[in-house]
């Protein structure tokens, strides 16, 4: 029975999400139940593509990603895949009419990661669009459940929030990206290097993205709002911790939020939400 396989596929996407990201998994728990499986489906797809370019160093990454791309579109067209993660993802794409442009744009950014590179401003913006902003739009398609008017209204906010999350990830993972993977995403670093001035410039840019992203969270459908807000709170705390550190510390260590601190943040978020402080 395909129903049984579909259930296994959804469980596989959930397992991938919980294994790779405790923070994201916690945020999903605060969404309405009907959103859990589709958001796991989106994350599972994104995570697999990211793992190809980030982790599979002893394999032909370019061929793996090319095969993954072909299999993705085949799964969407045929509405089935023997790859459980892609089977889960195609179900979300077809059920919520996720724009195929977002998928193509995301995979293009993954292709950009196949090469060691220093990004200029245009390439940086292109990468942010594909690696983060369109992922926010995939999730927004789920949250708006086919309401195109609401989707179009919230689209710029979702993109800015995704952009802020990704830029914080870049700061958090600066050492690994630059040393292990040979990637320098921030265009400011091409001429100035990573110092206090460039760090503050990057942080100001993120704060501007966050400001607009937060306004969008308040406009989200109620059943999606709190889960996204939890992710916003986590990343806000991560950014605050990064802002308190000198540039040289960011270059040497990956900034983390302890699990104990995460739970405290989520409890505080629940308190604000319960008393309509959001």
Which pLDDT score, from 0 to 100, does residue 275 have?
A: 44
Domain that holds residue 139: 2-274
- Residue 248 parent element (H or E): helix 247-252
Q: Are strands 117-118 and 183-184 parallel, antiparallel or unpaired?
A: parallel
Q: Which pLDDT score is estimated for 260? A: 65
Mean pLDDT check: name the lowest of 35-39, 166-170, 266-270: 266-270
**Cα(56)–Cα(167) distance, rounded to whole angstroms?**
23
**pLDDT at 126 exceeding the cut of 90:** yes
The pair phi, psi for residue 117, each rounded to 5°, is: -160, 150
Give the tens place of pLDDT for each residue, 4-53: 999 999 999 999 999 998 878 888 989 999 999 999 999 999 999 999 99
Instruction: Give the tokens for residue 70.
Output: 């072909």
What 3-state DSSP class applies to 154?
helix
Two tokens, residue 108: 């293009």
pLDDT above 90 (res 66): yes
Q: What is the value of pTM for the model shown?
A: 0.91
pLDDT range class, residue 262, cuts 50, 70, 90: low
Report which of residues 119 and 143 the model is more confident about.
Answer: 143
Total count of domains within the chain:
1
Residue-level pLDDT at 268: 60
End-to-end CA distance of the chain: 44
Strand partners, 117: 183
Confidence of residue 118 (pLDDT cuts 50, 70, 90): confident
Domain at 75, CATH number = 1.10.600.10
Percent of the chain with pLDDT over 90: 71
- And the tokens for 9? 């596929």
- Which range (39-43, 211-215, 232-236, 257-261) has the least confidence? 257-261
pLDDT at 270: 56
C-beta of residue 230 within 8 angstroms of C-beta of residue 149: no
Mean pLDDT across the chain, nearest whole number? Answer: 90
What pLDDT shows up at residue 259?
62
In terms of Cα–Cα distance, which of 32, 64, 40, 73 is closest to 224? 32
Please, are residues 163 and 134 in contact by the beta-carbon 8 Å criterion? Answer: no
Better-predicted residue by pLDDT, 129 or 193:
129
Can you tell me the mean pLDDT for 113-136? 92
Tell me how far apart the alpha carbons of residues 226 and 39 are, in angstroms, rounded to a whole number: 14
């Amino acid at each position: 029975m395909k129903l049984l396989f579909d259930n296994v596929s959804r469980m596989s996407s959930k397992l991938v999400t919980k294994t790779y990201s405790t923070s994201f998994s916690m945020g999903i728990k605060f969404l309405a139940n009907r959103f859990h499986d589709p958001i796991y489906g989106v994350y599972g797809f994104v995570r697999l593509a990211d793992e190809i370019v980030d982790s599979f160093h002893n394999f032909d990454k370019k061929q793996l990603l090319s095969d993954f791309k072909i299999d993705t579109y085949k799964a969407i067209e045929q509405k089935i895949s023997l790859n459980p993660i892609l089977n889960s993802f195609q179900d979300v794409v077809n059920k919520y009419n996720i724009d195929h442009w977002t998928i193509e744009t995301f995979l293009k950014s993954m292709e950009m990661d196949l090469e060691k590179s220093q990004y200029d401003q245009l390439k940086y913006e292109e990468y942010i669009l594909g690696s983060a902003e369109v992922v926010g739009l995939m999730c927004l398609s789920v949250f708006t459940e086919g309401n195109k008017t609401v989707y179009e209204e919230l689209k710029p906010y979702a993109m800015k929030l995704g952009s802020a999350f990704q830029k914080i990830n870049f700061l958090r993972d600066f050492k690994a990206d630059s040393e292990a993977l040979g990637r320098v995403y921030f265009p400011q670093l091409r001429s100035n290097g990573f110092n206090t001035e460039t760090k503050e410039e990057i942080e100001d840019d993120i704060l501007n993205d966050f400001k607009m992203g937060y306004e969008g969270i308040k406009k989200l459908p109620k059943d999606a709002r709190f889960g996204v807000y939890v992710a916003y709170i986590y990343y806000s705390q991560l950014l605050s911790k990064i802002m308190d550190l000198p540039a040289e510390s960011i270059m040497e260590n990956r900034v983390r939020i302890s699990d104990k601190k995460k739970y405290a943040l989520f409890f505080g978020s629940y308190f604000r939400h319960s008393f309509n402080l959001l």
